[in-house]
Amino acid sequence: MGTLKKNRKLNPKEVLDAKLKKGKIIGMQNNTDVIVTKWKYKRVVLMLSTKHTAEMVDVHQRREVAQKPALVVDYNKSKGFIDIYDHIKFYFTASWKLVKWYRKITIELLLGSATVNAYIVHQIVTNNNKIFITSLKEELIGQPIDFSRLTILEQQMLRTRESRHLEVQSSARGRCITCYAKRSAQTRTPFLISNSLSAINSTVLLVLARFMYAT
């Protein structure tokens, strides 16, 4: 019994492609009594079980009675901390696609695990304020860097690329990208084309003089 990823192999296509309205459920069971169910409430939930069916049960929540799959009810009673963490983090995720993996790990540790842990501690102490995670993340990412409090070296490390240029001995031969950029820099001198005879004569004399001194 547990949740299921939609891109997992051998998932029944009929269940994955089914369009459900809020509160509806669909499921398929194979010959080994393994059932895959898809239920839509606030979002689509795909689950797997060997002991349940697609049966719906009444659940008392707040001031109303709602219907939920028996599989979901039993899962909520028995899920561990990792499942609770994933559930909380899902609504406040700060990571996105097209981000390099090491940046995603940093974002996840700073705005994922740390904020969820702070939220749990905050709930134990105050037992209130459900928007704590949202307000905490806004404070973490909303404050710009104050360059006036940084040292000159720290400002250079943030603003220039050469501050990250450290010479380290290595057995392999190669060129440092910073040194190579300096060596390959081109120097251009603009020239103005003149139609006057004196300018042409001066240019010819200059070329001849350089040729004579070179030989």
pLDDT at residue number 66: 83
For residue 168, the Cα-to-chain-centroid distance in whole angstroms is: 32
Q: Which helix (H) or strand (E) holds 178?
A: helix 177-183
Give 200's pLDDT tier (boundaries 50, 70, 90).
Answer: very low
pLDDT at residue number 13: 87
* 65 contacts: CB under 8 Å, gap ≥ 6: 58, 59
More reliable by pLDDT, 71 or 129: 71
Domain spans of the chain?
Answer: 2-79, 83-142
Does position 191 have pLDDT exceeding 80, yes or no? no
pLDDT at residue number 50: 87
More reliable by pLDDT, 134 or 164: 134
- To the nearest 10°, the Cα dihedral for 112, 113, 119, 122? -140
Q: How far apart are CA 49 and CA 161, in angstroms?
A: 55
pLDDT at residue number 197: 44
Q: How far apart are CA 158 and CA 191, in angstroms?
A: 38
Q: How far apart are CA 44 and CA 20, in angstroms?
A: 9
Q: How far apart are CA 111 and CA 133, in angstroms?
A: 9
Overall average pLDDT of the 87-103 stretch: 66
Report the phi/psi class of residue 163: left, alpha or beta, with left for phi > 0 and alpha for psi in -120 to 50: alpha
More reliable by pLDDT, 89 or 158: 89
Q: Give percent of the chain with pLDDT exceeding 70.
A: 49
pLDDT one-digit tens code per residue, 5-40: 888 888 888 888 888 888 888 888 888 888 899 988
More reliable by pLDDT, 52 or 101: 52
Q: φ, ψ for residue 9 (rounded to 5)?
A: -65, 150
pTM for this model (two decimals): 0.44
